[in-house]
Amino acid sequence: MTLLRLQDETLGHGGRAVLSGVSLTLAPGERVVLLGRSGAGKSTLLAAVHDRLRAETRVALVPQEHGLVPQLSAEKNALMGRLDDHGALRNFRTLVRPCAEDRAGVAQVLSALELEAQARQRVETLSGGQKQRVALPASAGGAARGTGNLSEAAREADLVLLDAYGVLNVGETPIPGAAERVAALRAAGKRVAVVSNSAGYPKRHMMARWQRLGFDFSESEVTSSREALLERLRGDPRHWGIMLGTGHGTEDLGDLKVSFLGDDPRTYAEAEGFLLIGASDWTEARQKLLEAALAAQPRPVFCGNPDLVAPRENGLSLEPGYWAHRLADATGIAPVFCGKPFPEIFDLARARNGPALPPGRVLMVGDTLHTDILGAQARGFRTALVTGHGAMKALGCAQSFAQAGLRPDFVMPSI
């Protein structure tokens, strides 16, 4: 997939050619470092790339001189990043007396950038690093934009993909207002679907659960990592040892030949490969049996839920991804992961809910940078991070973004 293609182009300003014979291809999610001596034309090339991309997508250029107004506060400079979104009258009023909604949005962005305390401070009094951070929201939306709610973030999306844990529910408790937001998105003409690294239960059980939690999703609107895994293994003739609670038997597993991994070492010895699907009944003792079996005879391992943990009412539960990573460390076997951030689950959800949509019209909403946001950005989707209920609850955004090298398009405490 190509985001931008320049082919043997001449670039410059005001009719004056600065660069000639420029060819450049950019893919969605790709990171490119541009190196060149002073005066080589780096800024000219960046300005041309910005111009082309802004015609079809939301893109930010953070120039080296920041483009800030030194006499105005950090808050007002940040608000300027939204000027393109509104008419002249609203913009004028915003700069004189910003409305509560705009100020709340900017407060979230400044908080994410750890600049809350400097919101009312004139930019000319800030340090170099602080100015650089104010320049992110001021450069109009390429950085994470704080929004009051998901309806605002979804304005330019036709399909909204929602993570479950940390976005719609925490354990068996629905997040207040989430079902109402789903209804509001539908009323605004958006398609809405769930994309969840939830593999422990059959689809029938998941659908009953959504209904119990107060959500009206149809079957095709719910895509799980369990389905992505089963799709991948369709027709596979091997005999698998499975990590999965026995409560629902083999419902949904189709023709797969499986034995539940329990406390009998023979089950581990006999399997031709292993599927890590649900960890609710898993124990340290079983992990040791699996490690020993793989050390004795290496076999393929598939993990149907790459999550390490899931938020529950009383803390975090350990998920198959956690055990899979431990297994990899102990045995050197690289598990095959199905589920976010890997592509199959996103492709399955899109095929069911909007196969013809351009990726830029799809918005993925999640609470985890390295699954929801990473995977969606790799597919070219827009992304929104929910910070108030799940993985980000105890973490600072700015530090997490820097550590992960990931930055969602939008940030909000709750949908």
Half-sphere exposure of 166 (CA within 13 A, CB side): 30
How far is 190 from 179, CA to CA, in rounded Å? 14
DSSP code, position 95: H
Measured from the Cβ of residue 314, the count of other Cβ atoms closer than 10 Å reads 7
Residue number, 23 or 314, with CB nearest to Mg ion: 314
To the nearest whole angstrom, how small is the minimum distance from the Cβ of residue 178 to Mg ion? 12
To the nearest whole angstrom, how small is the minimum distance from the Cβ of residue 310 to Mg ion? 7
- Residue nearest to Mg ion as judged by C-beta position: 166
What does the DSSP assignment read for 338-395? -STTSHHHHHHHHHHH-TTS-GGGEEEEES-IIIIIHHHHHTT-EEEEE-SSSTTTTS
Is 86 in contact with 160 (CB distance < 8 Å)?
no
Q: Which two tokens stand for residue 393?
A: 């609850």
To the nearest whole angstrom, how small is the minimum distance from the Cβ of residue 225 to Mg ion? 12
Give how far the C-alpha of residue 255 lies from the chain's centroid of Cα atoms, to the nearest Å: 33
Residue number, 185 or 194, with CB nearest to Mg ion: 194
Residue number, 146 or 390, with CB nearest to Mg ion: 390
Residue number, 137 or 278, with CB nearest to Mg ion: 278
Looking only at residues 144 through 173 of this chain, which bind Mg ion when binding is defined by CB under 5 A? 163, 165-166
Residue number, 72 or 195, with CB nearest to Mg ion: 195
To the nearest whole angstrom, how small is the minimum distance from the Cβ of residue 199 to Mg ion? 13
Give how far the C-alpha of residue 251 lies from the chain's centroid of Cα atoms, to the nearest Å: 30
Residue number, 75 or 163, with CB nearest to Mg ion: 163
Is 94 in contact with 79 (CB distance < 8 Å)?
yes
With CB under 5 A as the contact rule, the residue among 75, 102, 367, 409 that binds Mg ion is 367
To the nearest whole angstrom, how small is the minimum distance from the Cβ of residue 164 to Mg ion? 6
Measured from the Cβ of residue 403, the count of other Cβ atoms closer than 10 Å reads 11
How far is 302 from 297, CA to CA, in rounded Å? 16
Q: Does 319 bind Mg ion (CB under 5 A)?
A: no
Residue number, 292 or 309, with CB nearest to Mg ion: 309
Binding mask 179-198 for Mg ion (x = CB under 5 A): --------------------
How far is 334 from 330, CA to CA, in rounded Å? 11
To the nearest whole angstrom, how small is the minimum distance from the Cβ of residue 367 to Mg ion? 4
How far is 353 from 160, CA to CA, in rounded Å? 10
**For residue 327, which of 350, 357, 300 has the smallest C-alpha distance?**
300
Looking only at residues 378 through 397 of this chain, which bind Mg ion when binding is defined by CB under 5 A? 390
Q: Which two tokens stand for residue 155?
A: 């304005």
To the nearest whole angstrom, how small is the minimum distance from the Cβ of residue 142 to Mg ion? 25
Residue number, 321 or 390, with CB nearest to Mg ion: 390
User: For 120-165, what is the HEC assignment?
Assistant: CCEHHHCCHHHHHHHHHHHCCCCCCEECCCHHHHHHHCCEEEECCE
Residue number, 73 or 225, with CB nearest to Mg ion: 225
Q: Are strands 273-276 and 301-303 parallel, antiparallel or unpaired?
A: parallel
Residue number, 227 or 367, with CB nearest to Mg ion: 367
How far is 286 from 264, CA to CA, in rounded Å? 9
Strand stretches in 147-294, DSSP E: 159-162, 169-170, 173-174, 191-196, 222-224, 239-243, 257-260, 273-276
- Count the residues of the shown chain that bind Mg ion, applying the rule CB under 5 A: 5
To the nearest whole angstrom, how small is the minimum distance from the Cβ of residue 371 to Mg ion? 7
To the nearest whole angstrom, how small is the minimum distance from the Cβ of residue 165 to Mg ion? 4
Strand, helix or coil for residue 106:
helix
Measured from the Cβ of residue 312, the count of other Cβ atoms closer than 10 Å reads 14
To the nearest whole angstrom, how small is the minimum distance from the Cβ of residue 267 to Mg ion? 31
To the nearest whole angstrom, how small is the minimum distance from the Cβ of residue 364 to Mg ion? 11
Residue number, 138 or 308, with CB nearest to Mg ion: 308
Give residues in contact with Mg ion (CB under 5 A): 163, 165-166, 367, 390
